[in-house]
Structure 1
């Protein structure tokens, strides 16, 4: 009978698919949207995500490259100026140090530097005539050669003294050899101080002051000294030298001949050492930058600045002026 009570003009329920009870139940349910569902709940019993947990910050920070900045021209100029000022201060400091040392040396010279050569006792009436200190005056690279020149001079003096004794022994053995004995005394008195003044002191001054004139003066005199050493080692008779010739001519007396042979050996050693040292000094001279032109300049400056030369020139000029004035009168 229910079919008779229904509206015959209404749509049949079977024709509307949305009137299906299963569909209607789903659409009318109060279930939350799917996008709010958390499939990984904080607790196993929690079905829905109530809130999201923020991720923990990473302990490692990303590397950040600092932008490279080129120095500006003003900064470069300021750095260059600061460098120049520093170099100028260093040069001024060195110049002041050199001036101070020069003033100290001049002060010592004005007050009188105490001479220490020859080393004589203070009670001796004759005082030292020269000042000599290798460590203070001579640069380290020249000290060895300069000392060897000094030792050569002392060795030459000892040889000349032994030559005098050998000629004395020969004179005692043969009275005809008195000329050799007399000349041996002369050579000792003459060559010992002259060799010190004429070639040792010039080379000492040349190494001390790098003087070209002193170098040239040394080369000229020392070359003559080498020739003298060779002549002395040869031993020409009646020349006052106990060389090889005079030693062999006096072998009739074995003691006298032995003494003369020893002196001849010493003269030969002097000649050989002098040649070696001459080459060594010449090699060092070539490294110093000295030249003949510098030697001429030093000689001219030394002559024209000399008070003796100036007084002599002034005297000559005044004499010439007086002669001219008298001639005009």
Structure 2
């Protein structure tokens, strides 16, 4: 009980817990043993050398999340201004291209002092050329090929009509009862040769030259009728003046040589019909790329009629006569 009477707040040196004999013995005898102790056993190949791997001397940096940088209002305004400048340059380029094409169209439509060169007649001939035609000068490059093909198509059709006259002449020589076919063949040659040039070739030439919507529509209307006529001529209905397939086959039993000649002409008519259909589709595809429309055709027709001097003079005379008649009545 004497321990309880001691002062707990007294000098701690008076009570030393390490003075216990068992603790003192362990501390004095185990210090050296811990200095040579290695927790890693020696390898099978030899004793451990005790070498250690040095740690990296580079200080590790903590991962830092970069904050998202939003563009400033100045940068946004500068980008918008650059975009507007680019769009303005594009619009100016398109406007310059449209002005150039309009100037070219005006130059083509304007009066020229060039002499007519078609048909190519000798100078001593009493009839002078009626038209001026120059593909490389008047037709744009994108329409040049199809326009020349239409011209060659017209020439092929004229040659076919001339061969039809010869075939019908041979038919009339072999059988005198078929003089009507020979007469009609001459009529078709005289009628269709100039009419095909004026009614569908010149309109398509003018359409490619000036991008005229009215000329395109006029060509489509007349050339479709031309295709129908060529198909009928290739069929060769008897007594119609055409050396088609029906007429050529019907003559083969009695006059084989005449039948062969008429079959050759029938082949020409068939080629003309097929080429006409193909060219009609090609011209239509070019027409759609030019931006022509029925509304533009109406505007061109109305402007052409109103600016025509003949129409103006006729309208003025009609108005004058109407005014005079109304004055006389009053």
TM-score of the pair, normalised by structure 1:
0.69
CA distance in 2, matches of 1:279, 1:95: 27
Q: Describe the superposition over 1:27-61 as per-residue Cα deviations: whole angstroms up to 9, x where unpaired.
A: xxxxxxxxxxxxxxxxxxxxxxxxxxxxxxxxxxx
Structure 2 counterpart SS, 1:313 = helix
Structure 2 counterpart SS, 1:202 = helix
Structure 1 residue aligned with 2:273, among 244, 257, 271? 271
**1:313 partnered with 2:312:** no
In 1, are the aligned partners of 2:109 and 2:210 still within 8 Å (CA)? no
| Residue of structure 2 equivalent to 1:166 | 167
**1:185 partnered with 2:198:** no
| Stretch of structure 1 that moved more, 94-103 or 144-153 | 94-103
Within 5 Å, which residues of 2 pair with 1:31-70? none
Q: Describe the superposition over 1:192-245 as per-residue Cα deviations: whole angstroms up to 9, x where unpaired.
A: 000000000000010110011000000000000000000000000010000001
* Alignment RMSD: 3.0
Going from structure 1 to structure 2, the CA distance change for 1:131 and 1:257 (only over 3 Å counts) comes to same
CA distance in 2, matches of 1:105, 1:288: 17
Cα drift, residue 102 of structure 1: 7.5
CA distance in 1, matches of 2:249, 2:98: 64
| Residue of structure 2 equivalent to 1:261 | 263
| Residue of structure 1 equivalent to 2:303 | 301
Q: Describe the superposition over 1:120-141 as per-residue Cα deviations: whole angstroms up to 9, x where unpaired.
A: 1222221111111111111111
Within 5 Å, which residues of 2 pair with 1:100-139? 109=111, 112-139=113-140
Going from structure 1 to structure 2, the CA distance change for 1:95 and 1:156 (only over 3 Å counts) comes to closer
CA distance in 2, matches of 1:218, 1:189: 21
Going from structure 1 to structure 2, the CA distance change for 1:289 and 1:118 (only over 3 Å counts) comes to same
Cα drift, residue 83 of structure 1: 10
CA distance in 1, matches of 2:285, 2:91: 36
Structure 2 counterpart SS, 1:241 = coil
**1:197 partnered with 2:229:** no
Give ranges in structure 1 of 5+ residues lacking alignment.
1-70
CA distance in 2, matches of 1:91, 1:227: 42
| Residue of structure 1 equivalent to 2:37 | none
CA distance in 1, matches of 2:102, 2:294: 29
Give ranges in structure 2 of 5+ residues lacking alignment.
1-73
In 1, are the aligned partners of 2:251 and 2:259 still within 8 Å (CA)? yes
Structure 2 counterpart SS, 1:145 = helix
Cα drift, residue 98 of structure 1: 7.7
Structure 2 counterpart SS, 1:311 = helix
Within 5 Å, which residues of 2 pair with 1:2-41? none
TM-score of the pair, normalised by structure 2:
0.69
Aligned structure 1 segments of 4 or more residues deviating by more than 2 angstroms: 82-107
Cα drift, residue 249 of structure 1: 1.2
Q: Describe the superposition over 1:84-123 as per-residue Cα deviations: whole angstroms up to 9, x where unpaired.
A: 999999999989978986786677x25x321111111222
CA distance in 1, matches of 2:99, 2:220: 36
**1:141 partnered with 2:142:** yes
Larger Rg: 1
CA distance in 2, matches of 1:253, 1:121: 41
| Residue of structure 1 equivalent to 2:211 | 210
CA distance in 1, matches of 2:292, 2:107: 27
Going from structure 1 to structure 2, the CA distance change for 1:309 and 1:92 (only over 3 Å counts) comes to same
Structure 2 counterpart SS, 1:118 = coil
Going from structure 1 to structure 2, the CA distance change for 1:210 and 1:90 (only over 3 Å counts) comes to closer
